[in-house]
Structure 1
Amino acid sequence: MKTKVTQIAAVALLGLSVAAGTAMAQQRVFFGIATGGTGGTYYPLGGMLAQVISNNAELKGARISATAETGNASVANAGLLGREAIESAFVAADILGAAYSGENQFEDKAQKNLRALGALYPETVQLVAQPDIQSVEDLAGQSVSSGSPGSGQYQLLTDLLDVHGLSRDDIDEDYSSFSQAAGKIADGNLGASLITAGTPTSSITELANSHDVNIVPLAGPEVDALLERQPQYTSVEMPAETYRGVDEPVQTLAVRAIWATHAGVSDEMAYNVTKALYDNVETLAQVHVKGREISLETALESVTIPLHPGAERFYREQGVID
């Protein structure tokens, strides 16, 4: 009888051991990435980054389970990080710098807990308009969208109008998302929309494939004056054939997207997710056109806020930082 009891106890202990091992194998640590609307670039690229992290990163023996969440773009994402409501987010470089310093939309609301993980890819400023709108000056009296409330384009539109002798009082404001704006332009209910995203942007591609639109050039002395205000922007040339009907290159602006976090994220977590990204850029390059523009060589480009210590450790190991 004693032997039988001993055998039963041994089997029970073995079962507990197997169950414990299974529980350990299934342990997950969750890591969120705030992106943008589904019509832009943040969301699909964020989903792919989340998959890369989930497939390649661990934290103290537990798998890191990363998820990409739709968001209201840069300003809102910076606010989420400032409140430590999410672990990481994509934020345009100029907005991230303003949030940290307490400037522009963040006046008197400096978010000193923001930290950078690394630079991603250049986002192209695209002023998408009805065919008869050929310049920024032509926006006067038109309905114009600067994106969803909380987007980083609000300040840019203000500055663009100002250097061209206009103000927001000269336009009819609209706050549609990228996809909503494209639909309104197609229906004739919107004159133009300022869209800052990686090219080609899916919402613009769909619009241009079915309707004639114009990508308004952003160049000249007025834009040079804007660049003095917004040094994190740079002049770029959008290639011809980026969209149907774009037969010639278009001079415009670009700003780099930054992957950011906050000081409350552990050093080990920041190190592991940063490593997962830059160790697997080839994978991103295979599945998304903007993934080809992410590299260790440009990982600190346009980063004007402090690096997270975990990310900094990774860059020192790679020789990016001495």
Structure 2
Amino acid sequence: MLMQEKRFLLMLTMVFVFIGFLWAGGAQETEAERTGIKDFYTITTATTGGSFYPTGVALAQLWSEQLGDKLGTRFSAQTSAGSPENVDILDKNEAEIAYMQNNVVLWAYRGTNMFEGKPHKNFRLILPMFSSTYHFMVDKNINSLSALRGKRFVVGRPGSGTETSSRLVLEALGISYDDIKAEFLGQSEGLEALRNGQVDGVLAVGGHPISAVSDIMATPTRRFKMLNVAEDELQKINKAEPWMIPTEIPADTYPNQTTPIRTLKHMVFLLVKEDMNPEVVYQIVKTTWENMDWLRESHGAFNRMSIDLADEDFFNFEVPVHEGAKRYYREIGKLKD
């Protein structure tokens, strides 16, 4: 009888312990639901050959170190095919934060172009990043973009932001993919193919300096160059695609580049969805702007990222700014409602 009572008490204790575990788990889940703060946040970037991925890694490191204990969360960066794929990744909640170039942001929000009929009205801006610069790396005998007709030209990975930009640049000059030998490679692979004489040109897009471009420009014997785009071609492209803005890459940005290079750029934004926890958004925006010195040491692209970019154009952009980000911009006087 005594043995049966002991067994009963043991079983009863185990039941209470099990119920306690269930209650604790439920309490944790309720807390997560209450705060809306996840254990882990992912930044979707682009391929490793550009500037999105390394700068995304730097942001993830900064936010994890500065906010990990405060918010009880961590951040990481992942690669992707670029801006168009990031729309899908963000939409499917496979990442919470995304890099996107300005034209893709607009197309996704409106539901036009490649997103025809599928508007993403829940996308929100949080940070104006650096501009992405177009590096037209070509055979040394090619002196204009129009001369790419009939040539082997690396346009980027299929569906990537770079590939979209390549197609639109060429179309603005009356060139279609039928007029060239299009190669669908990533930036690093494309630049290596150019170095080896397997292609005649590559479009590499990113905040300068791009490490893969620096590497190829340091090649002692070069059969290629960074194209100084003709003024008339720049104007044609800008007229067709106003979001592509004429600019210059300063002299000595890259090895063996002794003169400024005329080219194009577009703006890059960091986005989240409307329902992302406003406290998390506020903290990452605040932490970013208050640690720009550290970020600029981590990657040269951050040298062109300034709080001055949070201007009227940013706040009046068709895609709204997230409420958590607005809170910080109000605090520092950049946003006045």
* Equivalent residues of 1:100, 1:305 under 8 A apart: yes
Report if the CA contact (8 A) 2:234-2:263 is conserved: no
Query: Residues of 2 paired with 1:147 and 1:215: CA distance?
Result: 17
Could you tell me whether the CA contact under 8 Å between 1:41 and 1:197 is conserved in 2?
yes
What displacement does 1:28 show?
Answer: 7.3
Pick from 161, 164, 184 the counterpart of residue 170 of structure 2.
Answer: 161
1:31 and 1:67 mapped to 2: Cα distance? Answer: 7
Q: For residues 55-94 of structure 1, what are the alpha-carbon distances to aligned partners after superposition, in whole Å with 9 as ceiling and x for unaligned?
A: 22268x5333110111111111122112222100111112
Q: Which moved more, 1:287-296 or 1:117-126?
A: 287-296
| Structure 1 residues 79-228: aligned runs within 5 Å | 79-210=88-219, 211-212=221-222, 213-228=224-239
The 5 A counterparts of 1:1-322 are 29-57=39-67, 61-210=70-219, 211-212=221-222, 213-300=224-311, 303-322=317-336
Query: Partners of 2:117 and 2:170 in 1: how far apart?
Result: 24
Residues 105 and 155, structure 1, Cα contact 8 Å, conserved in 2: no
1:193-232 deviation per Cα after TM superposition (whole angstroms, max 9, x unaligned):
1111011111111112125222223342342232133222
TM-score, L = length of structure 2: 0.82
CA contact (8 A) 1:128 1:215 kept: yes
Deviation of 1:175 (Å)? 1.3
> 8 Å contact 2:45–2:78 — kept in the other structure?
yes
C-alpha change, 1:105 and 1:217, in structure 2 (3 Å) is farther
- 8 A contact 1:145–1:173 mirrored in 2: yes
**Structure 2 counterpart SS, 1:154:** helix
Report the CA distance shift for 1:229/1:114 in structure 2 as closer, same or farther (over 3 A): farther
Give 2:63's aligned amino acid. I
Residue 310 of structure 1 aligns with an amino acid whose one-letter code is G
Stretches of structure 1 lacking an aligned partner (at least 5 in a row): 1-19
Q: Is the 8 A contact 1:118 1:274 kept in 2?
A: yes
Whether contact under 8 Å (1:36, 1:70) holds in the other structure is: yes
Letter in structure 2 aligned against 1:308: H
Q: Please give the root-mean-square deviation of Cα atoms over the aligned residues, in Å.
A: 2.3
Q: For this pair of structures, how many residues does the alignment match?
A: 298
CA contact under 8 A between 1:81 and 1:261: conserved in structure 2?
A: yes
Q: C-alpha separation between the residues in 2 aligned to 1:225 and 1:137?
A: 12
Alignment match, 1:3 = none
CA distance in 1, matches of 2:237, 2:119: 23
Runs of 4 or more above 3 Å deviation: 300-304
Whichever of the two has the greater Rg, that structure is: 2
Structure 2: which amino acid aligns with 1:113? N
Which range moved further: 30-39 or 144-153? 144-153
CA contact (8 A) 1:54 1:63 kept: no
For the residue of structure 2 that corresponds to 1:273, the secondary structure is: helix
The answer to whether the 8 A contact 2:123-2:273 is kept is yes
Structure 2: runs of 5 or more not aligned: 1-23, 32-36
Structure 1 distance, partners of 2:117, 2:43, is 26
